[in-house]
Structure 1
Amino acid sequence: MAMPVPGLEDGTSEDPNDREGATVEETFELFSAQAPKGWRVELIDGEIYVVPPAKGPHEKIVTELVEQVIARRTDKELRNSTGIGLHLPGGNGTLRVIPDLVVAPRDSFDAPREWHAPDPVLLVAEVASPSTASRDRVLKIRAYARAGIPVYLLIDREADEVVVCSEPVGDDYTHKSLHKLGAEVPLPAPLGFSLDTAAF
C-alpha cells in the first residue's frame, strides 16, 4: 500500500499521489529527501511505497545471506551491496527500488549517484515481510525481469519458502524453483552454489 513518509515538515498525512500540482516523480523525490534515516522510499508502477527500518529477524536473514555469498561465491570479483538504489525501466514510467541485497561485479556502483542502472546486476534478493510480501511476490518479479536482472531470489518468511527466479524474458522469469525454507537452495550461475537456508 502507498503510505506517506512520517515526519514531513508540512505534517501531511495524505496519499502522496494526491499532492496538488506535483507529479508522482516529484512527490517521490520529496519523500525520498525527507524520509527519516533507515526508511526506504520506492517508486513502483506509479505508486510510492514507504518501508520502515527492518526488524531483527529480517536483518538476521540479510546478514546471513551476505555472509554466505561472500564465503561461497566462485567468482571472487563479485560484491554484495545493501541499500543500493536501482533505476529500472517500467511499464508505467520508471521504477526506483532498493533491494535487500544486490550482487554485482566489483566497482559497479562507484559513481556517486543515488540511483544506479541495473546493467551490471547479476542477482537481487528480497526478504519478504508481511508489509512488503505482495510487492515482492508480484510487482518486483515483473520489475526485475523487465530490467533483465539474471536472478531474483525471494526469501518469503510468510509462505515459508524460497523462490529462485532466473532466465528473464519480457516482464517475467521463465524459470522459477520453489524450495521449503530451511532447505539447501541451489543458485544458478554466476553464483553457482547452494544457499543453506537452515540458518534463516
Structure 2
Amino acid sequence: MTALADPPHIMTPEHFEEAARILARLEEGARLELIDGKVKSKPMPDGDHGRIIQWLTRICMQYRPELWLDPAQGIKVQSYRSGRARPDGTLAPMDAFVGQGEWADPAPVLMVVEVTSYDSDTEQRDRVEKPRAYAETGIPLYLMIDRKSCQVSLYSEPSSECYEDVRTVPFGKSLHLPDPVGITLDTTPLKDWVK
C-alpha cells in the first residue's frame, strides 16, 4: 500500500476505483481516497475515533431519525466528480445510497464529517483538501472534529472554491448545525475521547 499511496500519483477516477478494489482485497481495511487526482491513504480509525462517530450517530438518530450517518460510504467529489472521498461520516436520507455502489453521487448528502487522526497528513488532508473538495461538490455542511486542538469546526455556505463560513468552538461548547441538518451539538463528551 505505501508504494501506491505515499508519493501522490495523478490518476483517473476509473483507474483509482480499480486500484482501490484490488488493494482492499489484498490488505484488509485499506482505505484510499482520490483528491485532486492524487491517491492518498487514509489511516484506519482508532477506538476513540470510532466512539466519536458513535456519539454523533446517536445524536443524529435521536433528532433526525429519517437520516443516517453512514461511516463507510464513499462519495464522488470535486468538479465533474473527478475525486473519490470516504468521509468518516456521511449524513443523508436513510435510503439515499441504495443501489449506488461504493462511490455514490453526493447530491443527497447534507453533511460530511471528518474526525482528525494523529498522523502527519491530517493538516493538509482534513483542513485544506477535504473542505475544498466538499465545497466544490456543493455539500451543504462539513463538520471537522479536531482531536489535536480539541475543537469542532463547522464549514457552511459552499461556493465553487471553498466554504464561505467557518465556525469553530472548543470542546465543551455548543455548536448549532444549521439547515439542512438543524441539530445543536453539546460537544462536552468529546473531551473524553482525545489523547
Pairwise same-fold verdict (TM > 0.5): yes
Report what 1:30 is aligned to.
19
Residue 46 of structure 1 deviates from its aligned partner by 1.8
Question: In the alignment, which residue of structure 2 is the partner of 1:100?
Answer: 88
Deviation at 1:44, TM superposition (A): 0.6
Residue 148 (str. 1) matches residue 138 (str. 2): yes
Greater shift after overlay, 163-172 or 46-55? 46-55
Distance 1:29 1:178, change over 3 A: same
Which residue is 1:113 aligned to? Answer: 101
Distance 1:112 1:147 in 2: 17
Structure 1 unaligned segments of length 5 or more: list them. 6-12
Q: Give aligned-pair identity as a percent.
A: 36
TM-score, length basis structure 2 = 0.85
> Higher helix fraction: Structure 1 or Structure 2?
2
Matched residues in 1 for 2:153 and 2:6: separation?
Answer: 35
1:184–1:158 Cα change, 3 Å: same
Instruction: Name the residue aligned to 1:45.
Output: 36
Say if 1:3 and 1:48, in contact at 8 Å, map to a contact too: no
Shift of the 45–107 alpha-carbon distance from structure 1 to 2, 3 Å rule, reads: same
Deviations 1:45-78 (A, max 9, x none): 12111123211111111111111111123xx322
Deviates more, 1:45-54 or 1:102-111: 45-54
The reply on whether 1:129 has 2:117 as its aligned counterpart is: yes
Give, in angstroms, the shift of residue 173 of structure 1.
Answer: 1.0
TM normalised by structure 1 equals 0.83
CA pair 24-188 structure 1, distance change in 2 beyond 3 A: same
Aligned alpha-carbon RMSD (Å): 2.3
In structure 2, distance between residues paired with 1:14 and 1:138: 18
> How far apart, in 1, do the equivalents of 2:3 and 2:173 lie?
38
Find the counterpart in structure 2 of residue 176 from structure 1.
Answer: 166
SS of corresponding position for 1:17: coil
Moved over 3 A (4+): 2-5, 13-16
State the shift of 1:193 in Å.
Answer: 1.8
Q: Tell me how far 1:16 sits from its aligned partner.
A: 6.5
1: distance between equivalents of 2:170 and 2:6?
40
CA spacing shift, 1:27–1:89, aligned 2, 3 Å: closer
Per the alignment, residue 55 of structure 2 pairs with 64
Distance 1:112 1:81 in 2: 14
- The answer to whether the Cα contact below 8 Å between 1:87 and 1:97 also exists between their aligned partners in 2 is yes
Residue correspondences, number = 185
CA distance in 2, matches of 1:95, 1:137: 17
Tell me the secondary structure at the aligned position of residue 179 of structure 2.
Answer: coil
- SS of 2:126 mapped into structure 1: helix
DSSP-derived class of the 2:182 partner: coil
Distance 2:138 2:6 in 1: 35
8 Å Cα contact 2:8/2:40 also seen in 1:
no
Computing the radius of gyration from Cα coordinates, the structure with the larger value is 1
